[in-house]
Amino acid sequence: MNVNKIREDFPLLKRRINGKKIVYFDSACMSLKPKQVINAMLEYYELFPSCVGRSTHRLGNEATEAYMKAREEIANFINARPEEIVFLKNATEAINLVAHSFDFKKGDVVITTDKEHNSNMLPWKILEERAGIKHVIIKTTKHFDFDRFEKNVKKAKLVSVVHISNFDGSVMPIKEIIEIAHGNDVPVLIDAAQSVPHTKIDVKKLDADFIAFSGHKMLGPTGTGCLYGKYEALKSLKPFITGGETVSNTTYKSYEMLDPPERFEAGLQNYAGFIGLGEAARYLRRVGLDNIEEREEKINRKITKSILDLGFSIIGPKDARERKSILSFYKEGIDVYEVALLLDEMANIMVRAGKHCAHSWFNSHGIKGSVRLSFYLYNTLKEAEIFIKSMQEIVKIFKR
């Protein structure tokens, strides 16, 4: 893996602010886009900006072919079949699609963990209010509470859990969770927004019923995301958004829904975006997710040691190998937002500060927020050194 060659593909990394390069450590929120993805989108807009699956003219056929190839590319990326991939705006919409299309009844139990992003917390809270389901939360403070999980899964209708936490990088034991749930005939939805971009996912080996992930975190454009579903599981869902190209026929008294995935893709879609996402999947496959994980771990290890030496507390496992691409830290008496602003102002280092859309966890632990670093294939050990030196200076500022 030649990181210098990879960096040449990312236009943003050529930008200078006050004569300095940008250090981008915020890929868990939004990854950068390589020129290959940008060019694929431009090609759609410039050469065949037409409707997919509708227009029978040449441009429409070219657009449809490119769109279908993108679906095939993304399916191959996770070892799925194209008809098992639903194109949506993001992982949030994918989770909500399952939540609002599932056949829930009053009293049905949905199980999540206590480390969920709001996107896998709020849909169940809302259904708790509106439909009378019961939302059971499994603690993961020191380890996943399998005793409580096994007790509650027997009466569950669905298990919906995060794979890799977006705020601390900790990894849930999803294989065991899926095996236990399936042993009780309970389907499983995985929030894989932070795992699909960084670690190899094989849906056949994993055996989850549904997997949600976002394109903008894996080099793809904004407004792109996917729901993978076992085909029979997708067919069991009742669409909650309908319209053009979701039906084969309608009368004033009836309608005939198309099979998945089309039945869930109402109206004109983000064609350019998904063509770009297909190119992003190709790019990642060429580089190799194993190579990407190895680079992220080296950077995470280097920075972790320095952060601990500076007296900060790390959220999640202390061992960087157990936090994948994420490092989240804080210190009593130091405002995390000020740290993020100082990193930007001093060295063009882009990080995120706050509760990272996981307010419930932070509030329950009495932590006001954290600085989160998140790494990807284009980051370097030199950037890690720039960050470490900047943090040393920031600590001095707060001691004055």
pLDDT in tens, 124-152: 999 999 999 999 999 998 899 999 999 99
Residue 40 above 80 pLDDT?
A: yes
194 shares a domain with 55: yes
318 shares a domain with 281: no
Residue 365 above 80 pLDDT?
A: yes
CATH number at residue 230: 3.40.640.10
pLDDT (0 to 100) of residue 141: 83
Indicate whether 30 belongs to any domain: no
Residue finishing a domain among 261, 286, 311: 286
Residue 285 above 90 pLDDT?
A: yes
pLDDT (0 to 100) of residue 233: 97
Residue with tokens 């994980």: 293
277 shares a domain with 175: yes
Residue 65 above 90 pLDDT?
A: yes
The residues near 98 (Cβ < 8 Å, ≥ 6 apart) are 158, 160, 189, 210, 212, 227, 229, 237
CATH number at residue 314: 3.90.1150.10
Residue finishing a domain among 223, 258, 286: 286
Q: DSSP string spanning 202-257? A: -HHHH--SEEEEESTTTT--TT-EEEEE-HHHHHHSPPSS--TTSEEEE-SS-EEE
134 shares a domain with 89: yes
pLDDT (0 to 100) of residue 1: 81
Task: Band the pLDDT of 29: cuts 50, 70, 90.
Answer: very high
Residue 196 above 90 pLDDT?
A: yes
Indicate whether 338 belongs to any domain: yes
257 shares a domain with 244: yes
Kindly report the average pLDDT of the chain as a whole number: 97
Asked if 280 contacts 256 with a C-beta cutoff of 8 angstroms, the reply is no
Q: How many domains does the chain have?
A: 2
CA angle 352, 356, 360 (to 5 degrees): 155
Indicate whether 32 belongs to any domain: no
306 shares a domain with 274: no
Residue 400 above 80 pLDDT?
A: no
366 shares a domain with 236: no
Q: Percentage of the chain with pLDDT > 90?
A: 97
226 shares a domain with 256: yes
pLDDT (0 to 100) of residue 142: 82
Residue 22 above 80 pLDDT?
A: yes
178 shares a domain with 275: yes
As a whole number, mean pLDDT of residues 57-70 equals: 97
81-85, 86-90, 142-146, 184-188: least confidently modelled range: 142-146
Q: 159-191 pLDDT, tens per residue? A: 999 999 999 999 999 999 999 999 999 999 999
268 shares a domain with 189: yes
Active-site residues, by number, are: 357
Q: Percentage of the chain with pLDDT > 70?
A: 100
276 shares a domain with 297: no
Indicate whether 142 belongs to any domain: yes
Residue finishing a domain among 263, 286, 309: 286
Residue 17 above 90 pLDDT?
A: yes
Domain that holds residue 270: 37-286
pLDDT (0 to 100) of residue 240: 85
As a whole number, mean pLDDT of residues 101-130 equals: 97
Indicate whether 31 belongs to any domain: no
